[in-house]
Amino acid sequence: MNFIKVNTYDELSCKAAALICSQVVMKPDCVLGLATGSSPLGAYAKMAQKCKDGEVDFSRVKSINLDEYVGLDGQHDQSYRYFMNNNLFKHINIDINNTHVPNGCATDVDAECKAYDALIESVGGIDLQLLGIGLDGHIGFNEPDSYFEKTTHKVELDPSTIDANARFFASRDDVPTTAITMGMGGIMSAKKVLLIANGKGKKDIVEKAFFGPITPAVPASILQLHPDLTVIYSEN
Ligand code: F6R
């Protein structure tokens, strides 16, 4: 594991954007695994700037997002599809048809999960997976559990995750309680994993996840077993 501690969120975002853009430069038709949430916003803005400056070309890139709320369609301003379109895809020259987010409104959620895993396989797996980490150690929406779930699946969100995400909705009651998430198999089979975390509030969980025992009670801890893991943490 390559654990990089930086001093500011801006530094974290610069390093993360540089690593992701290097991946695209090295393999222009690569598959990027992408995350939503507040952690990657700075990196996404810097990736957009690099694209605008002609430093990187996303035209052949495919992207596969980690998760989506069940019940929200892509027009809903809290859906992860909406987030990705507005915070990244609109600002880079990626082909929107090559961007993938689970369909939270699928009538058959189990079939959607199976199709998502088939999609990951059909594109030859993910080259670089970007992750944030939840306060309970979740990655994607893989919540603490008694085992690591391998495939894409529907998940009941942990109350602490609902609390954390309530800030984006009109009220806590509006936060969906279930989501579709890529499983640990999809994440762990990515060739490279880059996890970013910032803020004093994440210090304890980052220590537990990367320097504590590997346990499904702290889902991100499984990443210690990944052969090409980079963690960038900024306390500020
Ligand atoms: C979002 C995702 C989540 C977030 C995590 C941290 O696609 O997969 O696991 O990465 O909840 O969220 P932030 O970055 O908002 O602290």
Q: How far, in Å, is the centroid of ligand 1 from the Cα of 35?
A: 7
Q: Compute the average pLDDT of residues 159-183.
A: 92
**If you average pLDDT over residues 167-195, what whole number do you get?**
95
Known catalytic membership, residue 136: yes
100, 143, 153, 158: which one is catalytic? 143
Q: Is the pLDDT of residue 115 over 90?
A: yes
CB of 158 shorter than 6 A to ligand 1: no
Residue 202 in this model has a pLDDT that exceeds 90: yes
Q: How far is CA 159 from the centre of its chain?
A: 20
Q: What is the pLDDT of residue 168?
A: 87
Q: Cα–Cα distances in Å, from 199 out to 20, 38, 114, 206? A: 22, 11, 35, 10
In tens, the pLDDT along 30-88 reads 999 999 999 999 999 999 999 999 999 999 999 999 999 999 999 999 999 999 999 99
**Is 161 a residue whose pLDDT tops 90?**
no
Residues 51, 92: Cα–Cα separation, whole Å:
6
Regarding the beta carbon of 35 and ligand 1, being less than 6 Å apart is answered yes
Mean pLDDT of 174-179: 94
- For 207-235, what is the mean pLDDT? 98
Residue 164: predicted pLDDT = 85
Beta bridge partners of 139: 142
The string of pLDDT tens digits covering residues 11-34 is 999 999 999 999 999 999 999 999
Burial class of 118 by CB neighbour count within 10 A (0 to 12, 13 to 18, 19+) = exposed
Cβ neighbourhood burial of 96 (10 Å; 0-12, 13-18, 19+):
exposed
CA gap 203, 134 in Å, rounded: 11
Q: Measure CA 195 to chain center.
A: 9
Residue 161 alpha carbon to ligand 1 centre in Å: 9
Q: Would you place residue 146 in the very low, low, confident or very high pLDDT band (cuts 50, 70, 90)?
A: very high
More confident residue, 160 or 133: 133
* pLDDT (average), residues 136-147: 94
Query: What is the predicted pLDDT for the residue at 205?
Result: 98
To the query of whether residue 143 is one of the catalytic residues in this protein, the response is yes
Confidence of residue 125 (pLDDT cuts 50, 70, 90): very high
Ligand 1 atom with the smallest distance to the CA of 140 is: 8
Q: What percent of the chain has pLDDT over 70?
A: 100
Residue from 12, 32, 39 to probe ligand 1 pocket by mutation (most atoms less than 8 Å from CB): 39
Cα separations (Å) of 29 from 15, 17, 33, 48? 21, 17, 13, 17
